[in-house]
Amino acid sequence: MINLILFGPPGSGKGTQAAKIVDQYQLVHISTGDLFRYEMGNDTPLGMKAKDYMAKGELVPDSITIGMLRNKVEAHPDARGFIFDGFPRTIPQAEALDILLAELGTEVSGLIALYVDDEEIVYRIRLRGATSGRPDDSDERIIRNRISIYKNETTPVFDYYQKQDKSHTINGIGTMGDIFDRLTGIIETWEKKSGD
């Protein structure tokens, strides 16, 4: 199995690239942000719980997020692998993911971080906010809050997988095709290993 953690700050292009990787490798794409938005759109109890945190650009508590992720993974017993997009965002989430995948007899293949600087992120998210209808995309204070939460709470996840020799960084600026080539260059090396 290939289990990729697509990592990077909000607005770094994870969702766009995930869609292209899914086409190429037939992996199941799990975006925790999309899952929360779906729940919110349907006014489910889970959506109600997530709503205020998301509106402020804060992280939804781990207990809620980890349970949702586990359900989604377990709903795909025949998957060839997963792309985790927006998860894990904290160390407890990373530990929970490692445990879950170990239960399934597999593991994280690697984490790839898209590097994009802060000003480019703010620019991209505001542009997206014009059409996405996402309230957390249209207020610069909330965007900057998300960036600072990423730096404080989420970047430790990079170091966590670095200790397992699994973390990689690529330049997240360039054409969609350029960035895709950078990603697949790394994923191909895992494919070779998993084929051994």
- Residue nearer to ligand ADP on the CB measure, 99 or 185: 99
The one segment of 50-58, 94-102, 156-164, 183-191 that binds ligand ADP by CB under 6 A:
50-58
Is residue 11 near ligand ADP by the rule CB under 6 A?
Answer: yes
Among 36, 158, 160, 161, which residue sits at the site for ligand ADP (rule: CB under 6 A)? 36
Is residue 57 near ligand ADP by the rule CB under 6 A?
Answer: yes
Q: Which residues contact 178 (CB under 8 A, 6 or more apart)?
A: none
Sheet (strand 28-31) strand order: 28-31, 81-85, 2-7, 110-115, 167-171
Whether the link from the prior residue into 156 is cis, omega within 30° of 0, is no
- Residue nearer to ligand ADP on the CB measure, 56 or 166: 56
Is residue 87 near ligand ADP by the rule CB under 6 A?
Answer: yes
- Residue nearer to ligand ADP on the CB measure, 61 or 174: 61
Taking the complex as a whole, how short is the minimal distance between the CB of residue 55 and ligand ADP, in angstroms?
A: 8
Q: CA 22, 164, 168 angle in degrees (round to 5)?
A: 50
Is residue 81 near ligand ADP by the rule CB under 6 A?
Answer: no
Secondary structure of residue 133 in the 3-state scheme: coil
Is residue 6 near ligand ADP by the rule CB under 6 A?
Answer: no
Residue 159: which H helix or E strand, with range? helix 155-162
CA distances from 103 to 2, 66, 98, 187 (A): 16, 15, 9, 23
Taking the complex as a whole, how short is the minimal distance between the CB of residue 12 and ligand ADP, in angstroms?
A: 7
- Residue nearer to ligand ADP on the CB measure, 119 or 194: 119
